[in-house]
Amino acid sequence: MTNFLSLADVTSIDALIQSGLAAKANPFADQVLGKNKTIGLIFFNSSLRTRLSTQKAAQNLGMNVMTMNVGQDSWGLEMEEGVLMNGDKAEHVREAAAVMGRYCDIIGIRAFAELKDRDKDYREQVMHQFATYAGVPIVNLESATRHPLQSLADCITIEEAKRTDRPKVVLTWLPHFKPLPQAVANSFCEWMNARAQAGKIEFVVTHPAGYELAPEFVGNAHVTHNQSEAFAGADFIYGKNWSSYTHYGQVLTQDPSWAVTMDDMNLTNNGKFMHCLPVRRNLKVSDAVLDSPQSLVIEQAANREWSAQAVLKEILKNG
């Protein structure tokens, strides 16, 4: 593996899951692999789990870690080519990425969707510019359209908690007053569709009308606007809010009936509840669900360390 930008960079999800579980059982087995190597973690947006778990994973592998918040710690970065730089951005990504690539062996980048211009967001300009100019492997720490480290942690969590060979996994939209990116939902669909295709799970997506995700991410998933129908017999409920893709970046409804409560969970096959966090309690999910033994959210977040470690190990092995 060179870059880890999306599922397209992965040869085998199963091998990455097993590598993550091996790291969980024996975190320091590969300390030599990262010795005297440096990872730079670059954040254009807020982070709790991604920042700490990726840092921890790198340290487990013996790496040195540098983190930076763009625009706060550093200069604002211009991403467009050929522009007159007379605005608020003092440095171009051409220089910034090239320089960071000289200090780092791997660079991780978080850059959310701006949710204004769909084509611009879905072009993944920030990831592509860094991949073009850094000259070192790039790891996606949540981009405009994807969050693959989260999806790998989700695969690991499902693998650990499943009680049947082919569990029913449901992605459900949750209400929120703010427009949030589609990245987590997109990536979850991308990875779960691959798992479904391999016969490992059954995958269902449920959301209100108007919240259809991009066709390239929905793929062959079964989609329904009836949340109760989706929850029936489910083994895993994966909650997430996202803003509209078709009415790009808009909040079309805040219908509280889409929030997950114990009544909803009682429709499932004693199913587990998952969420990538941060989660707004009682807006998206009730206290009762989050505090019940059915909630996997803390274990899921813990698995972010092992998903990051599996990916960094794969990149370090390559070079």
| 47 annotated binding-site participant | yes
Report 281-300 residues binding ligand SN0 (CB under 6 A).
none
Contact segment (CB under 6 A) with ligand SN0 among 199-207, 230-238, 244-252, 272-280 equals 272-280
Residue 100 Cβ vs ligand SN0, minimum distance, rounded to whole Å:
23
Report 179-208 residues binding ligand SN0 (CB under 6 A).
180-181, 183-184
| 49 annotated binding-site participant | yes
Amino acid identity of residue 57, one-letter, is: A
Residue 288 Cβ vs ligand SN0, minimum distance, rounded to whole Å:
20
Note whether 148 binds ligand SN0 by CB under 6 A.
no
User: Of 104 and 180, which CB lies nearer to ligand SN0 in the complex structure?
Assistant: 180
| 24 annotated binding-site participant | no
| 104 annotated binding-site participant | no
Q: Classify residue 215 as exposed, middle or buried by CB count within 10 Å of its CB (0-12, 13-18, 19+).
A: exposed
Residue burial 256-282, b: 16+ Cβ < 10 Å; e: rest: eebbbeeebbebbeebbbbbbeebeee
Note whether 96 binds ligand SN0 by CB under 6 A.
no
| 21 annotated binding-site participant | no
Note whether 178 binds ligand SN0 by CB under 6 A.
yes
Contact segment (CB under 6 A) with ligand SN0 among 154-162, 186-194, 259-267, 275-283 equals 275-283
Phi, psi of 46 (to 5 degrees): -60, 155
Distance CA 111, CA 32 (A): 31
| 176 annotated binding-site participant | yes
| 48 annotated binding-site participant | yes
User: Of 104 and 183, which CB lies nearer to ligand SN0 in the complex structure?
Assistant: 183
Binding residues: 47-50, 75, 110, 142, 147-150, 176, 240, 276-277, 280, 304
Q: Which residues contact ligand SN0 (rule: CB under 6 A)?
A: 178, 180-181, 183-184, 276, 278, 280
